[in-house]
């Protein structure tokens, strides 16, 4: 298939692009390179530098490329930033997304895989989080992704545009070639590995008084390659659907630091800090639905392997992509 990938120069997009190329698909990446990196685009893919917030830019690219399907990763994804600059999130994630859908309708492209998030659930009523739980986001980031899920429902009904929304939990790890390099790094694993690389003196642990066994937050870390496989399986789905996507297992912040110490052989000092606003104590996915309907199975269930792969990439790219 010919797949048009928005945000294909970002962390998750770049590795999905690589996996799809390995499986023989033809790839066009559409990215404005504000968050993404030119060097994160696999050389076998075509890169179009374009802007979702300009309807003519995205519509023109889709008309010219005529892809079989679109994978939509391009978005802003920092919870904290969304609390101080909500406009950026609604413009890029909702308005930009609607421009993409209108461009698809005009070009006759009828299939989309959307990168959604467990942040659409807010503070979950129960854990593991299954698809039947109410979605009540507690920040503009989660709200913007939920709004776009709702827009998708109407484009399905009114334009027969079929979509699969994948609500990720915590994407982590790396492939041999591509890894995680955000210009502003807020994520736990890369920040811990920066300490091991000697680029930061210590890791800050945001909250040690949560109602969890060791007092730190629990998250469901999913290997980026397993995540990419879920996207490829989603391409084969005929009807619109939404799936929660995680391993169903959970690790605390303290456990992540401990595994990083073991994998890197570095001491990794920690400093306890107060809670980060908006962090739920436990986020774990119920992933039975995607396993049953798409036949997805995570290959990397152990945090050790995820961190080994991330560490290998960070050691080879201590300055990230260098831009
Ligand atoms: N966290 C932390 N120190 C850091 C970065 C993150 O203690 O330097 C915690 C954060 O509060 C959360 C967990 O690690 O409980 C995972 O955070 P991350 O930003 O990686 O992902 P999120 O779950 O927010 O999407």
pLDDT digits (tens, 9 = 90+) for 178-208: 999 999 899 999 999 999 999 999 999 999 9
Q: Does domain 2-171+221-244 have CATH number 3.40.50.720?
A: yes
pLDDT per position as a tens digit, 215-227: 999 999 999 999 9
Nearest-atom index, ligand 1, CA of 192: 8
For ligand 1, atom 21, the nearest C-alpha belongs to 187
Q: Give 278's pLDDT tier (boundaries 50, 70, 90).
A: confident
146-160 residue pLDDT tens: 999 999 999 999 999
Q: Is the pLDDT of residue 80 over 90?
A: no
Q: Are the CB atoms for 113 and 100 separated by under 8 Å?
A: no
- Is residue 231 over pLDDT 90? yes
Q: How far is CA 139 from the centre of its chain?
A: 17
CA 277 vs CA 63, 81, 280, 295: distances in Å: 43, 12, 9, 36
Ligand 1 shell residues, CB under 6 Å = 79, 170, 186-188, 191, 203-206, 217, 219, 253, 276, 279
Tell me what pLDDT residue 62 has: 98
Determine the pLDDT at residue 102.
Answer: 98
Question: Closest by alpha carbon to 227, among 307, 282, 173, 293?
Answer: 173
Mean pLDDT of 125-145: 96
Over residues 132-161, the mean pLDDT reads 97
Residue whose Cα lies nearest atom 5 of ligand 1: it is 188
Check if the beta carbon of residue 27 is closer than 8 Å to that of residue 42: yes
State the span(s) of the chain assigned CATH 3.90.25.10: 174-219+249-316
Distance 33 CA to ligand 1 centre (A): 25
Residue 279's pLDDT is what? 86
Q: Where in the chain is the domain with CATH 3.40.50.720?
A: 2-171+221-244
Measured in Å, residue 231 CA sits from the centre of ligand 1 at 24
Fold of 174-219+249-316: UDP-galactose 4-epimerase; domain 1 (3.90.25)
Nearest CA to ligand 1 atom 19: 187
**pLDDT by residue (tens digit) across 1-43?**
999 999 999 999 999 999 999 999 999 999 999 999 999 999 9
- R_g of the chain, CA atoms, integer Å: 19
Model pTM score? 0.97
Mean pLDDT, the chain, rounded, equals 97
- Alpha carbon separation from 82 to 45, 91, 171, 282 (Å, rounded): 31, 11, 19, 21
What positions carry a catalytic annotation?
141
pLDDT (average), residues 271-294 = 94
Per the listing, tokens 């404005």 go with 32
Q: How many A from CA of 48 to the centre of ligand 1?
A: 32
Rounded to the nearest 10 degrees, the angle between the axes of helix 140-159 and helix 96-107 is 20
Residue 301 clears pLDDT 90, i.e. is over it = no
Percent pLDDT > 90 in the chain is 96
């Amino acid at each position: 298939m010919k797949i048009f990938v928005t945000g294909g120069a970002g962390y998750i997009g770049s590795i999905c692009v690589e996996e799809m190329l390995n499986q023989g698909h033809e790839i066009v990446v559409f990215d404005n390179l504000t968050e993404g990196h030119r060097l994160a685009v696999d050389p076998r893919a075509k890169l179009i530098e374009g802007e979702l917030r300009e309807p003519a830019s995205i519509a023109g690219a889709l008309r010219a490329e005529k892809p079989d399907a679109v994978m939509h990763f391009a978005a802003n994804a920092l919870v904290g930033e969304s609390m101080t600059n909500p406009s950026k999130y609604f413009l890029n994630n909702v308005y930009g997304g609607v421009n993409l859908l209108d461009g698809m309708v005009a070009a006759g492209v009828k299939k989309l895989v959307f990168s959604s998030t467990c942040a659409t659930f807010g503070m979950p009523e129960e854990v593991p989080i299954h698809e039947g739980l109410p979605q009540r986001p507690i920040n503009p980031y989660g709200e913007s992704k939920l709004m776009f899920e709702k827009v998708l429902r109407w484009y399905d009904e009114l334009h027969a545009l079929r979509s699969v929304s994948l609500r990720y939990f915590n994407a982590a790890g790396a492939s041999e070639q591509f890894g995680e390099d955000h210009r502003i790094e807020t994520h736990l694993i890369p920040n811990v590995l920066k300490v091991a690389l000697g680029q930061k003196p210590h890791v800050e642990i945001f909250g040690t008084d949560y109602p969890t066994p060791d007092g730190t937050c629990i998250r469901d870390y999913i290997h980026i390659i397993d995540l990419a496989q879920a996207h490829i399986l989603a391409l084969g789905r005929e009807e619109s659907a939404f799936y929660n996507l995680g391993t169903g297992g959970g690790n605390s912040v303290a456990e992540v630091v401990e595994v990083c110490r073991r994998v890197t052989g570095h001491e990794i000092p920690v400093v306890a800090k107060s809670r980060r606003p908006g962090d739920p104590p436990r986020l774990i996915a119920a992933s039975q639905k995607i396993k049953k309907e798409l036949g997805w199975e995570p290959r990397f269930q152990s945090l050790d392997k995820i961190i080994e792969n991330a560490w290998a990439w960070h050691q080879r790219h201590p300055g990230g992509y260098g831009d």
